[in-house]
Structure 1
Amino acid sequence: MSHRAPRLVAVFAAGALAFGALPSNAATPVDTGTSSTLSDAFKTAAAQYDVPRELLVGIGYAESHLDGHDGQPSQANGYGVMHLASNPSNPTMSEAAKLTGLPVEKLAKAADANVLGAAAVLDAYADQAGLQGQARQNIGQWYEVVAQYSHSADGPTARLYTDEVYRIVGLGVGAEGVSTQPVKVTPDRGKYANVAPLGTRTPASIQAADYPGAIWNAANSANYRVGRTAAISTIVVHVTQGSYAGTISWFKNASSQVSAHYVVRSSDGQITQMVAEKDTAYHVRSANPYTIGIEHEGFVDQPSWFTDAMYRASAALTKNIAERRGIPKTRAYIKGHNEIPGNDHTDPGPNWNWTYYMQLVNGGNPNPPTYNFTTYGSGVRVRSDAKLTASVVTTLPGPTQVFVTCQKQGDTVNAEGTSNKWWSKLRDQGGYMSNIYIDHPAAQLPGVPVC
């Protein structure tokens, strides 16, 4: 294991329009700096531990959308932007504490320390893998290191996790004041090259899934009970308090003692079934015998996870279950975890749009209330005139994660090798930000209504 002396890193001031992770020779505590932004934290950690910044940001975005959630733990007892975890299968929190000399409380609650701790762990794993010198600048060479950082329950889940990180690196990130440009990377999957990714369907997996659109991936048998002691009468909506891949891995860990029947991914609505509907998943305590649980990737305090793709995929699943099992498609029988007696959870929380969800469950095709997407490329233009005739107010470096409500035609946008006239209207944030439009290099986004 290499020990790198702290390096002097120039303070990076990011100015952008805001739209609203060894007992005998423990390391000496390092200076986490006086970073005023999360962007500074990533730059400092990447330089100090020789980890590509785009990769660090990609991991953080996959884990938390770059939100530390005020130091509150995930379902798998992971903390912060980088999800430093402390559970029987994932020791990244304790490893970060040993490598940096920083106390666990600071690693959990201080964003700059959390990012630094993750970089230290990745550095140690890279050393163990023999990744040195110029090879460290090749993001594609870090694939097995990132897979190790996930501490996934098995190879397919590790590949699911790592492929998502590399997808994000390829798209670029713009969130929480942190921006990375898209990076074209060819990942060297190493020992994971021959691991079939989750989603590979076989005759047996197709037969096992109750819902035709689901990928079958069984939870650990310690985390559910075979059979039922009551008739199924209720569908329960959950939020994972963690990532899609992390949740799947956690349900496959015998020590977790939790599971759900289904897990839904935020980005595209992919559905994984982990417990057969005929069996009892452990998700709502005393209500387990008569309920079917659907977990949704994300965190209750962060609406960016609740995409239209997720709503529509989940609603189609709920509609299918209800119709197959004779469950009324009303809120009396389709409930949130927080509405089940004897439970202390708050999910799906105030950011879950029940009105829209139930319209979809009942076969409606309403316009989505907001649409979450990420702009790509550079020079994203912003205008504050509904007719799109005023001059550009400002230009964002891009990419930028935003919520939009509708689109309309304006002047021609030329970017990323395409041209079109569609501008997207941001969700109003009150008098200080109303009628704001941004351009986008893609064509008109599917599912977004015309203003």
Structure 2
Amino acid sequence: MRPALILATVTGLVLGVTTASADPADQVRQRDFSAAAAEFGVPESVLLGVSYLESKWDTNAGTPSTSAGYGPMHLTDVRTANPSGGTHHDDGTEDPRGDDSRSPLKPEPAPPVEPVPQLMTVDQAAALTGTPTEDLRSNAKQNIRGGAALLAQYQKEIGVTSDNPADWYGAVARYGGAGDTGAAATFADEVFATINTGADRVTDDGQHVRLAATPVQPAKGQLDRLGLRKSTSDNTECPRSLACEWIPAPYEEYVDSKGKLTYGNHDKGNRPESQDIRYIVIHDTEGRWDGVLNMVRDPKYVSWQYTLRSADGHVAQHVKHKDVAWQAGNWYVNSKSIGLEHEGFAALGTWYTEAMYRSSAKLVRYLAAKYRIPLDRAHIIGHDNVPGTIPDTVKGMHWDPGPYWDWSHYFDLLGAPLRPMGNLGLVTIRPDFDKNKPAFVGCVKPGEPCTPRGSTSVILHTQPDANSPLLKDPGLRPDGSPGTMQISDHSSRVETGQQFAVADVRGDWTAIWYLGQKGWFHNPRKAPTALGTGGLVVTPKKGKTTVPVYGRAYPEASAYPANIPVQGVVPLQYTFSAGERYSVGQALTSEYYWASTFDSSNHTVVRGRTKYVQIQFGHRIMFVKAEDVDVKPSFLR
């Protein structure tokens, strides 16, 4: 070895000079955080903690979040993100009330939402750094610099000079963009909780980032220096860890366009004394925060119990738990559920912030404990899992929160992680969210490929072959054609957390029973997309060739009093045949809530003798009559 090379090698070893092997490519983001923290005088733990709460340090393929935020630091630019006000009910023909005793309700679309400062932080970051807004949106390094510059500016405005993370509470609270003290504190508290516990993960683009656990007691008194309005959680039904806001949905009479006296936008009830609350329904708003709040305040619109804001996870409550909101398109589900709307857009491939996931999980844990709702996908369901009420309504049902809602991460936050239980006849769907990127189309324009991104959806095929056709859903595609990769077409698609009975296994492929068909999905042992588990299944009773499947668990005709119109028990257009097996979600009594008048004194819960079993029949839950099926452990044939 030549003397110069020996000297260089020894010098590197002694002085700790970074070499190529000690400076791996997956550490680029970590170095970017360190460099930006040093450049702008922000404690690195604070910068990492804020970024984690916004994006978990991901880039999300350059797409904006549900609140127009870009990159690891969630710099907002509503001009380049989806500017539409939109509504949760623009797409499809669904009647959100879903009650045949009343005329269908179809709300009008909302107007676009005007940009507000909270949705334009990229401009301030550009002014502070001299970096073009395009680079701040698309370049992770510049995005991190922009976020650090904002934090430093917020700290300067507070008037505190310190490199102690504890003294940055006010700047962190400001970064969340809240207008009130409660929401600002909720965001900051969660950031500092993350700093205290630490975090370590590989991002969606393969970067390994670590936030070492750093015990910090933040200076919460700084909140008073931000000039925010004082908030109160009075009148809300929320856990103490969330600062919820009461923004009531109006229960009012009005004259409709035909001159008829009617009312909105929910029904009075007396739950859980009158009816059990059995479901929590996860929605996305298809609109931005301010526009959505304007809609829920309108008696002519529809309602839901809670709205959650993307940027900081703030929660607003609109309808009391005892009352029934018009939210899920199925009156049976509405009358037995609580609906949570999350600021977001299912079709556009936008992503949901960690702050919103965490607030939502806190709220759902609280609700589930209060009403004894099991933390599983038979009870914590998406709007896309709610069935049509009768054959005519199946096609028009909504499909939010869509394939980009991370159910696996959500259940981790709920404290109910999806885990294997052994191969006992069922599988729980659970692909690797970051690596699972189905080739969907139509997110922005019909037929155009969507931006590849992590998804909880697994695609089913008619054969153990990725080139074979997809399954058929006669409800969504009455013409008999197979399903497609259109983002809204879940004819042949299962979601994380859902459980299905195994029908067959061939090599790396597993088949499940799905809408009366065998649906095959790739499930290699070394990288499984489903976990073996066990539970209960239903099969047709001996001697029955097929049994009907229903979209609601309504009573038999003889159960109705004379003054209440009988609601039809109409089978859906699907076949459940002998030899097939479907996982059991829960056993149910038959009920119908008669509440079609403004005067709630005559509202009545009609209960029948008919018993139902909820099953995972396809992408949506459905119901069969208990008298038609046998219920048995999944490991028995």
TM-score category, normalised to shorter length: 0.5 to 0.7
Pick one of 42, 49, 60 that aligns with 1:58. 49
**Corresponding position of 2:116:** 88
Give the whole-Å Cα distance in 1 for the aligned partners of 2:62 and 2:319: 34
- Kindly provide the amino acid, as one letter, of the partner of residue 218 in structure 1: E
Greater helix share, structure number: 1
Superimposed CA distance per residue, residues 134-161 of structure 1 (whole angstroms, 9 cap, x where no aligned partner): x2x1111111111111121200111111
Distance 1:308 1:125 in 2: 24
What is the one-letter code of the residue matched to 1:119? A
Is residue 41–residue 115 contact of structure 1 (8 Å, CA) maintained in 2? yes
**Does residue 44 in structure 1 map to residue 99 in structure 2?**
no
Quote the residue 1:218 is aligned against: 245
Q: Is the 8 A contact 2:305 2:317 kept in 1?
A: yes
CA 107–187 in structure 1, closer or farther in 2 if over 3 Å, else same: same
Relative to structure 1, the CA distance from residue 213 to residue 238 in structure 2 (aligned partners, 3 Å threshold; closer, same or farther) is farther
Candidates 181, 185, 190, aligned match of 2:216: 185
- Following TM superposition, by how much is the alpha carbon of 1:80 offset from its aligned partner in structure 2, in angstroms? 1.7
Which residue is 1:412 aligned to? none
Displacement of 1:97 after TM fit?
1.8
* 1:256-305 deviation line (CA, Å, top 9, x unaligned): 6477524799xxxx996612144758x77999998842257999978999
Deviation at 1:42, TM superposition (A): 0.3
Q: Which residue of 2 aligns with 1:175?
A: 201
Question: In 1, distance between residues paired with 2:419 and 2:240?
Answer: 25
Residue 56 of structure 1 aligns with an amino acid whose one-letter code is: L
How many percent identity over aligned positions? 24
* Structure number with larger C-alpha Rg: 2
Q: 2:283 — aligned with what?
A: 238
The separation in 2 between residues aligned to 1:159 and 1:213, in whole angstroms, is 12
Q: Is 1:337 aligned to 2:383, yes or no?
A: yes
Q: Mark the CA change 1:129 to 1:256 in structure 2 (over 3 Å): closer, same or farther.
A: same
1 CA distance for matches of 2:154 and 2:314?
31
Q: 1:309 to 1:225 in 2, by over 3 A?
A: closer
Pairwise CA distance, 1:47: 1.3
Q: 1:429 to 1:126 in 2, by over 3 A?
A: farther
CA distance in 2 between counterparts of 1:301 and 1:145 reads 24
1:54–1:366 distance in 2 versus 1, CA, 3 Å: closer
Residue correspondence of structure 1 range 107-256 to structure 2 within 5 A? 107-132=136-161, 135=162, 137-176=163-202, 177-192=208-223, 205=235, 208-209=236-237, 217-220=244-247, 224-226=249-251, 227-228=264-265, 236-238=281-283, 253=290
Question: Structure 1, residues 309-333: CA drift from partner, whole Å, max 9, x if none?
Answer: 987973783697799xxxxx996x9
* In structure 1, C-alpha distance between the alignment counterparts of 2:406 and 2:317, rounded to whole Å: 26
* Aligned residues of 2:33 and 2:144 also touching (Cα < 8 A): yes
Residue 317 of structure 1: aligned partner:
367
Distance 1:109 1:350 in 2: 22
1:38 to 1:75, Cα distance in 2 relative to 1, 3 A:
same
Please list the CA deviations of residues 12-36 of structure 1 after superposition, one character each: whole Å capped at 9, or x if unmatched.
Answer: 989799xxxxxxxxxxxxxxxx996
CA distance, structure 2, for counterparts of residue 334 and residue 432 of structure 1 = 26
Q: Residue type matched to 1:276 in 2?
A: V
Residue 26 (structure 1) aligns with: none
User: Match of 1:37, SS?
Assistant: helix
Equivalent residue for 2:305? 261
- Tell me the alpha carbon deviations over residues 382-403 of structure 1, each in whole angstroms, 9 at most, x when there is no partner: xxxxxxxxxxxxxxxxxxxxxx
Given that residues 78 and 85 in structure 1 are in contact (C-alpha distance below 8 angstroms), is that contact kept between their aligned partners in structure 2? yes
5+ residue gaps, structure 2, are 1-16, 78-114, 203-207, 252-263, 270-276, 297-303, 387-395, 421-522, 529-637
2: CA distance between counterparts of 1:12 and 1:255? 53
After TM superposition, the structure 1 = structure 2 runs for residues 252-401 of structure 1, keeping only pairs within 5 Å, are 253=290, 257=294, 261-262=305-306, 274-277=317-320, 278=323, 292-295=338-341, 314=364, 317=367, 335-338=381-384, 341=396, 343=398, 345-347=400-402, 349=404, 351-352=406-407, 368-369=418-419
| SS of aligned partner of 2:339 | strand
- Give me the whole-angstrom Cα distance separating, in 2, the residues matched to 1:353 and 1:432: 16
Conserved 8 A contact 1:228-1:279: no
| AA at the equivalent of 1:78 | G
Gaps of 5+ in 1: 1-9, 18-33, 242-246, 324-328, 371-427, 434-451
Structure 1 residue 105, shift from structure 2 partner? 2.8
Aligned residue in 2 for 1:448:
none
Residue type of the alignment partner of 1:189: K
Instruction: Name the structure 1 match of 2:446.
Output: none
How far apart, in 2, do the equivalents of 1:255 and 1:240 lie? Answer: 7
Q: In structure 2, what is the Cα distance between the partners aligned to 1:150 and 1:285?
A: 33
CA deviation vs aligned residue, 1:96-139 (integer Å, no higher than 9, x gap): 1222232323222322121111011112222222333xx2x111
Following the alignment from structure 1 to structure 2, what is the Cα–Cα distance between the partners of residues 212 and 42?
Answer: 34
**Structure-2 separation of matches of 1:367 and 1:166:** 24
Contact 1:231–1:289 (Cα < 8 Å) also in 2: no
Instruction: Note if contact 1:97-1:104 (Cα within 8 Å) is conserved in structure 2.
Output: yes
One-letter amino acid of the counterpart of residue 336, structure 1: G
Q: Deviation digits for residues 166-224 of structure 1, max 9, x if unmatched? A: 111111221231112221222112343799xxxx998x53xx53x89996723545xx5
**Alpha-carbon distance in structure 2 between the residues aligned to 1:168 and 1:276:** 31
Provide the alpha-carbon RMSD of the alignment: 5.5
Q: Deviations over 1:323-352 (max 9, x none)?
A: 9xxxxx996x97523457465744364742
Equivalent-residue separation in structure 2 for 1:187 and 1:89 (angstroms): 26
Q: Return the offset for 1:225.
A: 4.4
The one-letter code sitting in structure 1 at the alignment partner of 2:40 is Y
Secondary structure at 1:183's aligned position in 2? coil
3-state SS of 1:238 partner: strand
Secondary structure, counterpart of 2:340 in structure 1 = strand
Calculate the TM-score normalised by the size of structure 2. Answer: 0.39
In structure 2, what residue type is equivalent to 1:369? R
Partners of 2:361 and 2:179 in 1: how far apart?
Answer: 27
- 8 Å CA contact retained: 1:79, 1:85: yes
Superposition TM-score, scaled by structure 1 size: 0.52
Task: State how far apart, in whole Å, the 1-side matches of 2:308 and 2:418 are.
Answer: 18
1: CA distance between counterparts of 2:239 and 2:354? 27
